[in-house]
Chain A
Amino acid sequence: MSEHTLDARNLLCPMPVIRTQNKIRTLADGDTLKVICTDPGTLSDIPAWCRINGHSVLDTQKGERELVITIRISKGAA
């Protein structure tokens, strides 16, 4: 199990979701992925994508300009 980070800043939805989806394809069950975004739309889209595909959102941090969404990957469901 390892921790990964994805920089999706300055991308607008659905690109952060697509990048997250593509990154998760390369990760292992139990890994965590921290996605850094600036588009507020990701606050609904990335958790929705995770729910659909069986991954868990562990944490969401909303800063002044940036959002950080931490995901635990579940390959059993994906």
Chain B
Amino acid sequence: MTSPRKAVALISGGLDSMLAAQVILEQGVHVEGINFFTGFCVEGHTHAIRKHEGAKPKRNNALWVAEQLGIKLHIVDVVEEYKDVVLNPKHGYGAHLNPCLDCKGFMVGQAHRWMEENGFDFIITGEVLGQRPMSQRRDTFPIIARESGAGDRLLRPLCAQLLPPTLPEREGWVDRERLLKFSGRSRKPQMALAAQFKISEYAQPAGGCCFLTDPNYTRKLQDLWRTGAGKHYELDDIMLLKVGRHLRPRPHFKLIIGREEGENNFLEGYRRQFTHLRPASHNGSLALIDGSADADDIRLAARLTARYCQGRDEASVRIEVTEKDGRAYELDVAPFTSEEIPREWHL
């Protein structure tokens, strides 16, 4: 008896990749999942950072999908390798700083490498022809296959019948007739297939999974590149952009102010790396000063911190300031009124 062919499935945690894996599992192929952590994933960290009162329990959707499918999942840290995709996308950005085509090529390329190292036969993705303006088009699909190195070992089960047969189809590893021909942006075919597979619960499908498509996030990333030491980043930089209010009152520093308990807890972990402020006379959030700030700047930052604490309407609020070297002191300041905070300070 020959052992079944083996496919590695890119699992995002959304519906499409879940369905693609299930379609191939139904054909008796051994499937294992792979999921990449780039640092820009909306999942995971964001759920950990924000406190969700009464919300659904925290979970990693890729892990949850793998468990529902009964497949193994390999989570790969690609934070370092992914930087080049974000900083120098060969095919450019989408509407924001989303390098979708380069990103897909990169991920399929990583999956291809994993496939070869682990003795698997082909790669599957949940891509649907015409669903995405940049990476899921008839003319860009071959680019992904070529640039990733996967070539025709890349199978897209949800739209395979609309594409030329790939190696797994030609070799009979999978039955092309049992693959699908989904196209376009409608979600109805996916939802119907999910119902057929008796999949009733799934994360919001496709889109919204990457901070690089979020205009609020990318505005802050562009500000980081403009005001910092140029176009580069470390993981901590991009993590902090996900958290809190960011106000830049001066070109040489910005203030990151927690918005709720979960964010404050997260920012606490960074406080030793930054001069930080917190209200001493009232309840309020922790604020980090990112950049260099002199005494006038710190007083300004203290007034902003006071604005976002429970003493915002008081004449004076006492703010505790702790410098990076651990030296601490207190300042009594008048909170800014909302009218005094120029709109352009908000990133």
Contacts and interface: CB of A to CB of B under 8 A. Distances in A.
B67 A14 contact: no
Q: How large is the interface on A (under 10, 10 to 19, 20 to 34, 35 or more residues)?
A: 10 to 19
Interface stretch (A28-36, A44-52, A56-64): A44-52
A66 interface: no
Contacts of B317: none
B71 A14 contact: no
Contacts of A45: 44, 58-60, 63
Contacts of B187: none
B60 A15 contact: no
A39 B48 contact: yes
A14 to B, nearest CB: 5
Nearest to A78: B72
A52 B47 CA distance: 21
A8 to B, nearest CB: 12
Given A14-B60, A18-B76, A21-B75, A52 B66 contact: yes
Contact of A13 (B60, B67, B266): B60
B58 A41 contact: yes
16 contacts: A13-B47, A14-B75, A15-B37, A15-B77, A21-B74, A21-B75, A41-B47, A41-B48, A41-B59, A43-B58, A44-B60, A45-B59, A48-B59, A48-B60, A49-B75, A51-B67
In the A-B complex, the 10 residue pairs with the closest CB atoms = A48-B63, A13-B44, A41-B58, A41-B48, A12-B45, A12-B48, A14-B44, A45-B60, A39-B48, A44-B59
Most buried by A among B35, B60, B76, B269: B60
Interface of A: 10, 12-15, 17-18, 21, 39-41, 43-45, 48-49, 51-53
Nearest to A48: B63
Nearest to A22: B77
Nearest to B66: A52
B118 to A, nearest CB: 12
Nearest to B35: A14
B60 A18 contact: no
Contacts of B73: 49, 52-53
Interface of B: 35, 37, 41, 43-45, 47-49, 57-60, 63-64, 66-67, 71-77, 239, 266, 269
Given A13-B60, A14-B37, A45-B60, A52 B72 contact: yes
Contacts of B266: 12
Nearest to A77: B72
Most buried by A among B41, B44, B66, B76: B44
A21 B73 CA distance: 10
Nearest to B77: A18
A65 to B, nearest CB: 10
Contact of B63 (A12, A39, A43, A52): A52
A44 B75 CA distance: 15
A37 to B, nearest CB: 10
A52 B63 CA distance: 8
Given A21-B74, A44-B60, 6 more contacts: A12-B44, A12-B266, A48-B64, A49-B73, A52-B72, A53-B73
A4 B49 CA distance: 28
A61 B266 CA distance: 21
Contacts of B59: 41, 44-45, 48
Contacts of B35: 14
Contacts of B37: 14-15, 18
Contacts of A12: 44-45, 48-49, 239, 266
B63 A17 contact: yes
Contact of A52 (B45, B48, B58, B71): B71
B72 A13 contact: no
A49 B59 CA distance: 11
Nearest to A47: B63
